[in-house]
Amino acid sequence: DAGVIQSPRHEVTEMGQEVTLRCKPISGHDYLFWYRQTMMRGLELLIYFNNNVPIDDSGMPEDRFSAKMPNASFSTLKIQPSEPRDSAVYFCASSFEGGEAFFGQGTRLTVV
Amino acid sequence: SQKIEQNSEALNIQEGKTATLTCNYTNYSPAYLQWYRQDPGRGPVFLLLIRENEKEKRKERLKVTFDTTLKQSLFHITASQPADSATYLCASPNTGFQKLVFGTGTRLLVSP
């Protein structure tokens, strides 16, 4: 397996625009996590899914953020409208039965 | 909720020495703790998991301890090498068993 695949690797967008981040988890994994990493706050869990169902979205900062997992092999994190303070590296991770988490390479988002 | 504290200052050591990194948790004793390594521009990579009832766990040059009295885990790298230079993250499950909370990480620099 190629591991967790995220796209794009880098995204630069203007304030107010919609941003969509994509993730393909490892085949067979039943948990999917979206994290955000900044220097100030470290790695923060935004939301996680179990068998495509959102379990806990208490880390989602605002209504501007939304996440979906339409099937076991794909998830999206959408920010609409984006703001400069959303600039961060966004990681997707997956695991099997809650074991070790496998992280993607991340998407570096810059909102100007 | 659970909070993970790691020394934010970088740890500089000489090649061949043992590096010791500290992870403290603030609330309830977690069922397990995980340690990850993160290189610049990459996602975290799982290294070790230690359960609450385990005092110590080893993997090659790595050793992790779990002290529930001190609410602390120590991560040791023996015979350190420049290739061990990276940021090391400690993680604990939060109220939800699968909801991992990460510390901000400690950067290790091993000089030749």
Each residue's pLDDT, cut to its tens digit, for chain A (112 residues) gives: 689 999 999 999 999 999 999 999 999 999 999 999 998 888 999 999 999 999 999 999 889 999 999 999 999 999 999 999 999 999 999 999 878 899 999 999 999 9
The pLDDT of residue A23 is 98
Instruction: State the smallest CA–CA distance between residue B42 and chain A in angstroms.
Output: 5
A85 three-state secondary structure: helix
What is the secondary structure of B1-52 as a DSSP string? Answer: ---EEE--S-EEEETTSPEEEEEEE-SSPPSEEEEEEE-TTS--EEEEEEET
Report the alpha-carbon distance of residue A79 to residue A13 in Å, rounded: 11
Q: Which residues of B touch A51 (CB under 8 A)?
A: none
Instruction: State the smallest CA–CA distance between residue A42 and chain B in angstroms.
Output: 5
The pLDDT of residue B31 is 85
The pLDDT of residue A41 is 87
The pLDDT of residue B96 is 58
* pLDDT at residue B95 greater than cutoff 70: no
For B3, which residue in chain A has the nearest alpha carbon? A44
CB-closest option in A55, A56, A100 to B49: A100
B55 three-state secondary structure: coil
As a whole number, the mean pLDDT across chain B is 92
Provide the CA B42 distance to its chain's centre, in angstroms: 17
* Residue, of B54 and B97, whose pLDDT is higher: B54
The pLDDT of residue A55 is 92
Report the alpha-carbon distance of residue A108 to residue A88 in Å, rounded: 6
* Residue, of B28 and A81, whose pLDDT is higher: A81
What is the secondary structure of A23-79 as a DSSP string? Answer: EEPPTT--EEEEEEEETTTEEEEEEEEETTEEEE-TT--STTEEEEEEETTEEEEEE
- Tell me which of A61-70, B45-54, B75-84, B88-97 is least confident: B88-97
Could B43 and A31 be called an inter-chain contact, meaning their C-beta atoms sit closer than 8 Å?
no
- Picking from B59, B98, B101 by the largest number of A CB atoms within 10 A of its own CB, the best residue to mutate is B98
Residues in chain B, overall count: 112
Could A98 and B97 be called an inter-chain contact, meaning their C-beta atoms sit closer than 8 Å?
yes
Q: Which residues pair with residue B23 across a beta bridge?
A: B6, B73
Q: Which residues pair with residue A76 across a beta bridge?
A: A22, A68
* pLDDT at residue B26 greater than cutoff 80: yes
Per-residue confidence at B3, pLDDT binned at 50, 70, 90? confident
Instruction: State the smallest CA–CA distance between residue A41 and chain B in angstroms.
Output: 7
Per-residue confidence at B97, pLDDT binned at 50, 70, 90? low
Report the alpha-carbon distance of residue A60 to residue A34 in Å, rounded: 9
How would you class A50 by CB atoms within 10 Å of its CB: exposed for 0-12, middle for 13-18, buried for 19 or more? middle
